[in-house]
Structure 1
Amino acid sequence: MLNTSKWLQNASRSTNSPDESCSSVVSSSTFKLILYSLTGGLIVTTFLGNILVITSIAYFKHLHSPTNSFVLSLAVADFLVGGLVMPFSMIRTIEGCWYFGSVLCRLHSSLDVMLCSASILHLSCIAFDRYYAVCNPLLYSYKMSTRRVSVLICTCWVIPMLISFAPIMLGLHLLGMEHLLQEGTCLFVVNHIYSVSASLITFYCPMTIMFVAYCKIYRAARKQALQIHDMKRNVTTQYGGDCSMKKRKYSLKRERKAAKTLGVIMGLFLFFWSPFFTANIVDPLIGYKMGMVGWEVFLWLGYVNSALNPFLYGLLHKSYRRAFFMIIGCKTCYSATSLNIDLSSTKQEKVKRKTTDLH
């Protein structure tokens, strides 16, 4: 397998024509067609899936919450990955060539870094939000006010923008690496300083925040479960006390389920993106010896996460699942009151809850 520097040097010996300097890792036209079908399907899935999430949260008032504000912004980032980044990456990956010029190459690289970084920063904010909801519920409404949520969301976009557009468009990420560039390609080659600093800011530090937050959430949920068990053992037979305990159990169950859902989403994100960010630090330190095929595989593994998130919401979160079905079935088109629909319960559950309240 050719290493990156040798591949670039061999490509630079050819003419400046993109077609002549291409070095596709795929030679079979049949295999190219298969790859185009797979990556094209992934792009469509990413595009439509995140549109569903955006539409659901924007349309249904029941989904208007601080957590879902972060989820909405995350879906926008994933949607832009599918619409602006992945199509160009698909052509570059399969053809081994860049047909769109050096300016668009830098713009594409900037958007790629920015949007993928924004995704993980949003996930760290979601973990932070869940931490206060479960561990400090009395402070939650204060800590997660509309103003604070807006500031955090803006931060999730501004930081990736600063570490992507500023250094990439100015060429700061290539200082000392200029000899590896040539016409007709769009390889994102970075120097040691940029690879380490960008990876720490956009991946490893947020990952640490998420890990600590979810560990504390798990401990708090376990502690509350033990307390409820003690309450159940010592509860009186009076109806009021039993009703209070049931409400407490329902609230805890809901928060634990939400934390579990977001934990699965975070875990899969780390699974798909850890190989890329690890290679992003290691490869410059070992002299760019990792092959191009490995880079492309790691990159597209990360893209899969942007397509997977909407389906995780649909499969693991009941409210999202019902919102998705209503939108796909066009039920929202016939009801002017859909904005106020309670997505958390079925009709049978609502009737049962009303009957319990009457008694």
Structure 2
Amino acid sequence: MHHKTTILVAPALQNSSCTHPRYHNVGLIAGLGPAEFVQGLIVFLITLGVLLANLLLILVINSRRYSKYIHSQPRYLLTSLASNDLAMGLFVTPFAIVPSLRGCWPYGELVCQIQALLRGAISQQSAVILICMAMDRYLCMLHPARYHKHSSKKGCVAIISMTWIMSVTLFAILVLPRGGFYFNPTGMSACEPFYAQASLRILAACGFYFPTTMILMYCYGSAFHVNKLRLRKAGCNTIASPDDYGGQSVEKLVCQERRLSTNASRTMAAMSLGFIVLVTPWTIQEVVAACTGSRAPAALDFIATWLALSNSFWNPFLYWLLNNQFRRISRELLFGRFCCSKPKEEKQHNCSSNSSSIRHGGHTQGCDLEGLSEKYWGEILERTLSSSSLHNLQRNFHHGGHFAHAHHHHHHARCNGVHEMRMVDAAVPDL
């Protein structure tokens, strides 16, 4: 028995345009009800929050002060995610403010088509970036030496560019043909991609949600589980202190690096969890509406849609909430120039005194460590984590001078421990 496929036709944009005769008597303020006012206010606040939060995130994680607290690869991924969210706040959500108040589309057909294209492409690209972040953290926590040896800035940028081109191409095929977009007055209050078949709508919603959710849960769940077992097996129950630089300082540095990687991964896992929680209601609504051939109630459609779009604001907020160094540097960048600024001479004096205190094994990090380039990341961590480097270290002990073996071993390990801790503290205080 053959079932006929129902082909849907997108509603004509002219019927929803503000130039239509039935909207001539609808002013922007006159006749504005409480529901329209609340909707417009929600859209405006989400747009403003998305713009400010993501702009701050991009400026801070790419600043010189924060460069020593993050690898180049996670920094590029976070910058790409924040750039996508910033583009959402610039080119998509602002165009929904007036339609949410008036109930019609005032910007013309071309703007509607471009907005529908960006709405789908940016959302899909953000999901792909979350997947890349999860795989990045998975490799960093399970294979740290190999990760820092083979991670490449150019490779990361190439992957981000390729996924962005694929997302834009996919939605261009869907949206650019005539009838591939429409004005949604109840949910988005703006233009969205239109699917001529219910099966395509279900496939788009499930393809956006389920692969992303499964990969995120597997990567972070496996990484945390294996890392927890590794910490227990290695006996990393305490973090190395500056007074414990002895013969086992290398092992303690390994434990410290794993704990710092875990903290960074927890922050990104929280962002991924926020995505899952916020997008789930919208996905369920899309699947149910496509299967039943009906529309959700206007209020429910609006809440589910804008709850999913608010994920662009919660990503930088969660990063700010769970990252102490990010909060501190954000405050310094925002308020440091207006108050509590130190003279140049005092800053230079503090830098020199802090540097000398580090040379003597003190607790303070020197300002000169801020200039340590990220290109030494791979060398530092490979030397710290590699078992072959430990064997080379032991062989060097046997080929030393004419001092006693025990005294030479203790002295060299102590100096090497202080030197290694200086470099690692400068490079990996937080990811």
TM-score by length of 1: 0.78
1:69 aligns with 2:76: yes
Alpha-carbon distance, 1:289 to partner? 3.3
Take 1:192 and 1:241, find their aligned partners in 2: how far apart are those partners? 66
Superposed, 1:154-169 pairs within 5 Å as: 154-169=161-176
Alpha-carbon distance, 1:30 to partner? 4.2
Contact in 2 for aligned 1:49/1:311 (Cα 8 Å): yes
For residue 271 of structure 2, the aligned residue among 252, 265, 269 is 265
Alpha-carbon distance, 1:202 to partner? 3.0
Higher RCO (CA < 8 A, seq sep 6+): 1
Take 1:248 and 1:270, find their aligned partners in 2: how far apart are those partners? 32
Equivalent in the alignment of 1:149: 156
Equivalent in the alignment of 1:352: 363
For residue 317 of structure 1, the aligned residue among 316, 320, 323 is 323
Contact in 1 for aligned 2:72/2:153 (Cα 8 Å): no
CA change 1:231–1:47 in 2 (3 A) is closer
CA change 1:294–1:189 in 2 (3 A) is farther
Equivalent in the alignment of 2:111: 104
For residue 93 of structure 2, the aligned residue among 71, 86, 89 is 86
CA change 1:354–1:291 in 2 (3 A) is closer
Take 1:266 and 1:257, find their aligned partners in 2: how far apart are those partners? 14
Contact in 1 for aligned 2:16/2:105 (Cα 8 Å): no
Superposed, 1:250-329 pairs within 5 Å as: 250-329=256-335
Alpha-carbon distance, 1:18 to partner? 6.3
Superposed, 1:125-274 pairs within 5 Å as: 125-171=132-178, 173=180, 186=191, 188-190=193-195, 191-229=197-235, 240-274=246-280
Alpha-carbon distance, 1:218 to partner? 1.4
Take 2:154 and 2:130, find their aligned partners in 1: how far apart are those partners? 19
Per-residue CA deviation, residues 147-168 of structure 1 (Å, 9 max, x unaligned), is 3211221133122212222211
Farther-moved stretch of structure 1 (274-283 vs 42-51)? 274-283
Alpha-carbon distance, 1:91 to partner? 2.6
Gaps of 5+ in 1: 178-183, 233-237, 343-347
Equivalent in the alignment of 1:41: 45
Take 2:236 and 2:252, find their aligned partners in 1: how far apart are those partners? 13
Take 1:298 and 1:284, find their aligned partners in 2: how far apart are those partners? 15
Contact in 1 for aligned 2:37/2:101 (Cα 8 Å): no
Take 1:71 and 1:127, find their aligned partners in 2: how far apart are those partners? 11
Alpha-carbon distance, 1:331 to partner? 4.2
CA change 1:97–1:198 in 2 (3 A) is same
CA change 1:103–1:57 in 2 (3 A) is same
For residue 54 of structure 1, the aligned residue among 58, 74, 80 is 58
Farther-moved stretch of structure 1 (277-286 vs 195-204)? 195-204
Contact in 2 for aligned 1:73/1:122 (Cα 8 Å): yes
Contact in 1 for aligned 2:117/2:193 (Cα 8 Å): no
For residue 21 of structure 2, the aligned residue among 17, 22, 27 is 17
Take 1:276 and 1:71, find their aligned partners in 2: how far apart are those partners? 24
Contact in 2 for aligned 1:43/1:87 (Cα 8 Å): yes
CA change 1:324–1:295 in 2 (3 A) is same
TM-score by length of 2: 0.66
Aligned residues: 328
Gaps of 5+ in 2: 1-7, 183-188, 239-243, 352-356, 367-416, 422-431
Alpha-carbon distance, 1:73 to partner? 0.5
Take 1:21 and 1:288, find their aligned partners in 2: how far apart are those partners? 30
CA change 1:353–1:299 in 2 (3 A) is same
Contact in 1 for aligned 2:129/2:160 (Cα 8 Å): yes
CA change 1:352–1:270 in 2 (3 A) is same
| SS of equivalent residue, structure 1 residue 170 | coil
CA change 1:82–1:194 in 2 (3 A) is same
Contact in 2 for aligned 1:163/1:198 (Cα 8 Å): no
Larger radius of gyration: 2
Take 1:172 and 1:205, find their aligned partners in 2: how far apart are those partners? 28
Contact in 2 for aligned 1:18/1:185 (Cα 8 Å): no
- Comparing both structures, which one devotes a greater share of its residues to helix? 1
Alpha-carbon distance, 1:199 to partner? 2.8
Alpha-carbon distance, 1:325 to partner? 1.2
What is the one-letter code of the residue matched to 1:291? P
CA change 1:208–1:143 in 2 (3 A) is farther
Contact in 2 for aligned 1:117/1:203 (Cα 8 Å): no
What is the one-letter code of the residue matched to 2:227? A
CA change 1:91–1:156 in 2 (3 A) is farther
Contact in 2 for aligned 1:261/1:316 (Cα 8 Å): yes
CA change 1:316–1:283 in 2 (3 A) is same
What is the one-letter code of the residue matched to 1:285? C
Take 1:13 and 1:65, find their aligned partners in 2: how far apart are those partners? 47
Aligned-residue CA RMSD (Å): 3.8
Take 1:312 and 1:205, find their aligned partners in 2: how far apart are those partners? 23
| SS of equivalent residue, structure 1 residue 97 | coil
